[in-house]
Amino acid sequence: PSVWEFTPEDFEPSWQEARKMLPALQGVELDKPMNGLFSFTPDGGPLLGESKEVKGFWIAEAVWITHAIGVGKVMAEWITSGVPSIDISGADVHRFESYALSPSYILARSAQSFREVYDIIHPQQPMEEPRPLRTSPFFPRHQALGAYFLEASGWERPQWFEANEPLLDGRGVPDRGEWSGRYWSKVVAAEALATRERVALYDMTSLKKAEVRGPGALDFLQRLTTGELDKPAGKVTYTLMLDDAAGIRSDVTVARLGEDQFQLGLNGPRDIEWMGRHLPRDGSVLVRDITPGTCCIGVWGPDARDVVQSLSEDDFSNEAFGFFNARRAYLREVPVTALRLSYVGELGWEIYTSADLGLRLWDLLWEAGRPYGVLAGGRGAFNALRVEKGYRAWGTDMTTEHDPYEAGLGFAVKPEKGDFVGREALLRRKEAGPRRKLVCTVLDDPNVVVMGSEPVWADTAVGYVTSADFGYSLGRSIAYAWVTPEHAEVGNRLEIEYFGMRHPATVTEEPIFDPAMKRMRA
């Protein structure tokens, strides 16, 4: 029940204090006292959407009165047209995985959400318990290297490693302000720069992964994504999943490993649920979440090929293993699936294996990398390198409120391949022109590092910041932002408001780092 019997003994202390503060309440009687319950979810957001168990059964739970009008609007849109007008990923009933539905987890996280509901929360501030919950096979090695962990989707993810502090010697890393300096260390800069100079290992296990297989797998994925996937086995494609209104529902990396077998890099459980809704009923396609049983190491940097090749009889040369290709191989006794791609803008591979062999894989790569000065890199360095390279992060840089052309992802759309979800709406939006554009800006003051979501100003408010970080390879503070089309031209001067102060910034060409893409294709 959402309302219990009114208990005066619980209400009276606060009522007495209220009357002291507002004397006009003296003598006022309670007309309709009630004991209403607050609904809290593990992340504090409401639960909205259609049940995946019962078609046509819609859910709107944990909705506060302050949210009621907005929730009513998007639910009406969703039920009648199939697409809400704003991004509701943070309220989607399908955003939680099975561990997050356990009573003990719900109690612990919901209690923290209740305690902090009116607090000012830092965007990097982690939940307190239960931790650790999900750990990769490399967790003990991370601990030994002095990892500072933050939590995401239950996973313990290293932000930086104290063992890398000596790498700071001789590097002038600017300080940060109190707010942007929380949950950050100068070691992040050292890890980012060392990745560009040698080779680093990044734990990518927490990324959602799925296997799609069966005689109907290709047709299924062609229908669900914007890119051309009808390529030979061994090819990798970056593509998008759209909703019916052409909003970006997710960005996806698809590796074709066989005639009827694909491995997908996804953004979360909502992607699995979305694919499940579109499965053909003839059993010709199987979608399986392989995240729990697999692990992944990003091996990136100028020396990545030398490290990997020293462990394998397979040919990892540029001629034999080109950019955006995939293959199965062995690194010593460990069978791996290697994808030649990089979200930090350096030569390297994402290397996958089963979880039981993960620790062995880490140790092999670590020992092979010692002659090259191998280091472990954390998510702090990963994000800084990603922003330098201009790679988008779904949920931060684009959502269902944006289309691919607005987000600078038109290269991932192949309308000529045939029909796919959102195609007709996308063509209409392209013809109408962009309502906004995602641009790269560089702040004049390199000592100002913003966090994301800050207002962007010209003569009036023209947009807001998405991803932002310091570009250590460039010595500049970078902020991506959504702005109106007339303010998106390269060279335009804007201002980013941060803690009440406006800081000048300039729209620049992107990517800022290695625009010719030579390093990744080396």
Gap between the Cα atoms of 192 and 380, Å rounded: 8
Gap between the Cα atoms of 464 and 452, Å rounded: 8
Question: Among residues 241, 237, 177, which one has the least CA distance to residue 394?
Answer: 241
Gap between the Cα atoms of 446 and 176, Å rounded: 10
Longest dimension (CA), the chain: 87
One DSSP character per residue, 322-355 reads: -TTBEEEEEETTEEEEEE---SSSSSEEEEEEEG
Which helix (H) or strand (E) is 464 found in, with range?
Answer: strand 461-471
Second-level CATH architecture of 436-522:
Beta Barrel (2.40)
pLDDT in tens, the chain (522 residues): 678 899 999 999 999 999 999 999 999 988 989 898 888 999 999 999 999 999 999 999 999 888 999 999 999 999 999 999 999 999 999 999 999 999 999 999 999 999 999 999 999 999 889 999 999 999 999 999 999 999 999 999 999 999 999 999 999 899 999 999 999 999 999 999 999 999 999 999 999 999 999 999 999 999 999 999 999 999 999 999 999 999 999 999 999 999 999 999 999 999 999 999 999 999 999 999 999 999 999 999 999 999 999 999 999 999 999 999 999 999 999 999 999 999 999 999 999 999 999 999 999 999 999 999 999 999 999 999 999 999 999 999 999 999 999 999 999 999 999 999 999 999 999 999 999 999 999 999 999 999 999 999 999 999 999 999 999 999 999 999 999 999 999 999 999 999 999 999 999 999 999 999 999 999
Domain ranges of the chain: 3-36, 47-115, 436-522
Q: Cα angle at 18 between 17 and 24, to 5 degrees?
A: 125
Residues listed for the chain: 522
One DSSP character per residue, 269-331 reads: HHHHHHHHHT--TTS--EEEE-GGGEEEEEEESTTHHHHHHTT-SS--STTTS-TTBEEEEEE
